[in-house]
Amino acid sequence: MKPCLRQPRRNAKMSRCSFRLGKWILAFFIIFLALIPLKRHAADAFEIRDYDVKVSVGEDNAYEVVEMINVEFSEPRHGIYRTIPLSYDGRRAKITQIGVAGWDMKTSTDSRNLVIRIGSEDEYVSGSQTYAISYRYALPPDRSEEYDEFYFNLIGNEWPVSIDRVSFSVDMPKPFDTGKVSVYSGAYGSESADGVDFDAATDGVSGKTLERLSPGESVTIRIELEQGYFKESLISKLTDFFFEYAYVVLGALLLAGGFLTWRKYGRDERLFVAPEFYPPENMTPAEVGYIIDSTMDNKDVTALLIYWASKGYIAIEEIDKRNVRFHRLKEADDSFKPFEKIMFTSLFDEHGTEGKVDTEDLKYQFADTIRAVKSEISDGLTKYAEKPLYTRKSKNLGRLFKALAFLPLYLVVARYLNSVFGINPTILVSSLVPALAIFIPIALFIEGFKKRYVISKGSILVRILFLLAIVVLGLIVGFALYTIVKAYGVNSTMVPFIIGAASSIGIYALGAAMRQKTEYGKKVMEKILGLKQFIETAEKPKLEMLFDENPSYFYDVLSYAVVLGVTKKWAKKFDDML
């Protein structure tokens, strides 16, 4: 089709253009109108001839419902959909024990309804078919303090087809005032009783429609009952209490228990720190770096190079600003610890040539060795240590409370899903994924803070990126939860989530802090903190005296200053002495 938006020069051209445009408009309307009967045809593929509903009401305000639906199909179809509303007056119904005798079925929920798909994907049905649907329908207690209420949509307004005849019966558990029964029929919001004939006795109500229901029309029954007519079962009360308050009670108990456990088994007694002039005996800077913050950093491992240089095993030569060369002066001997031998052998035998190696040669080649050394050091100080640094009880209790910290947040999520979908066996399982999506970032952040991966040792850029990642992830999770809550119309605030998250953070933090040192661990930490204190506060006369006694004193301590994060302070004190 040629464009028809330019100014025509001749009437003939304008007529041809208008004719072509008219044909396209006409074709559009023909297609549009053709779609309308198709949609009607899909809706008119069946009609409901008879619809019988039997409701048996329990004293706990739970209804056993059986629906017998006789359907006349005008053309082959897989089956029908039964849509049941899930909420009334702000209360969320719990629908369980769903069954359709003799037919395949699948259930799903969409926004405000439970949808039962009845029929097989592989088979078609036609003509007259009867569906027997049964389910248990339970509503929370009504909100009135003046009366109890029975309210039920016998026929919902979700049916897209007409219904020829409706019959119903409602059996009540005990006598009631028959003058307070109302049955309505018609479109949504209708309170007309003209289309229904019913009889009310002290044990129930039965009736039928007097005219055909059009698509979207419903039949509703309401009985106003004396206050206290329904008795909520103990199981129902306990279940409601569990989902409503368990996260608060459990969170408070775990916080209190965690704090008391930390005070008795998790915290250290006060350390007595005195200045130490030399590093702990028989302990490398890599081990000191791990003990000071329970973290095995790259800096802790690479400090071994300075340590070996101070011991005379290697020499360090600066080639240029980007490249440093290491020269092997002596072979590793029996004084080397296993992790030292791993790194020393890999450095010179696997990556070096003729006893020397450049940092340029190690790029992207030395990472596996670094990981192996880190693992060897941390395992040697924890799993296989002859003298453990931390008590086993404190570590086990710490792991326990870290795991228990998940529960308050998990219960909050389960509470929301219960309010949206009602109680069913899948709620406790389906709550795991969103709860973990919130809990894992919390745990990572606390571990990162505790171990000082980025809080104290990382670069400013890494810290910013880490914090931004946590914020973005938190916003995504929060937005997803807000969307779910808003979409399903749950009238609630984010206060429970805040309480649950705060409880989980507090419990996890207490678990992370439970690392009580053994007597040996306390002595080692006192010596390490004493050395750090001396490096930060040492006065020049004392340093001069130590330097005179040991001319290599600066280099002997330098590798330890690196892992303790006080390298610049240590170097500055020797500005005019080296």
Phi, psi of 299 (to 5 degrees): -60, -35
Q: pTM score, two decimals?
A: 0.54
Q: How far apart, in whole angstroms, are the C-alpha atoms of residue 268 and residue 157? A: 67
3-state DSSP helix/strand/coil % of the chain, to nearest 5: 45, 25, 30
Give the dihedral sign, CA 407/408/410/416.
positive
- Distance between the two ends of the chain, CA-based, in angstroms? 88
Dihedral pair phi/psi, residue 462, rounded to 5°? -65, -40
295 backbone φψ class: left, alpha, beta (φ>0; ψ -120 to 50): beta
Per-residue pLDDT at 279: 92
**Block residue for tokens 């006694």:** 549
Would you say the C-alpha torsion 194, 199, 205, 206 has a positive or negative sign?
negative
Q: Edge-to-edge, what's the strand order for the sheet holding 113-119?
A: 79-85, 113-119, 105-110
- H helical segments located in 225-366: 234-261, 285-293, 298-311, 338-345, 359-362
> What are the pLDDT tens digits along the chain (578 aa)?
344 434 444 444 444 444 454 554 445 444 444 444 433 344 568 999 999 999 999 988 889 999 999 999 999 999 999 999 887 776 778 888 899 999 999 988 766 788 999 999 899 999 999 999 999 998 877 767 788 999 999 998 889 999 999 999 999 999 999 999 999 999 888 888 889 999 999 899 999 999 999 999 999 999 999 988 988 666 666 766 776 778 888 999 999 999 999 999 988 888 888 999 999 988 999 999 999 888 888 899 999 999 999 999 999 998 888 889 999 999 999 999 999 999 999 999 988 888 999 988 888 788 889 999 999 998 888 887 888 888 999 999 999 999 999 999 888 888 777 665 555 556 778 788 888 888 888 888 777 766 554 334 444 555 555 556 555 655 565 565 555 555 544 444 567 777 888 889 889 989 988 988 899 999 999 999 999 999 999 888 888 898 888 888 999 999 999 999 888 988 888 777 66
The continuous run of DSSP H or E covering 317 comes out as strand 314-320
Integer-rounded Cα radius of gyration of the chain: 39
* Angstrom distance (rounded) from CA 184 to CA 206: 13
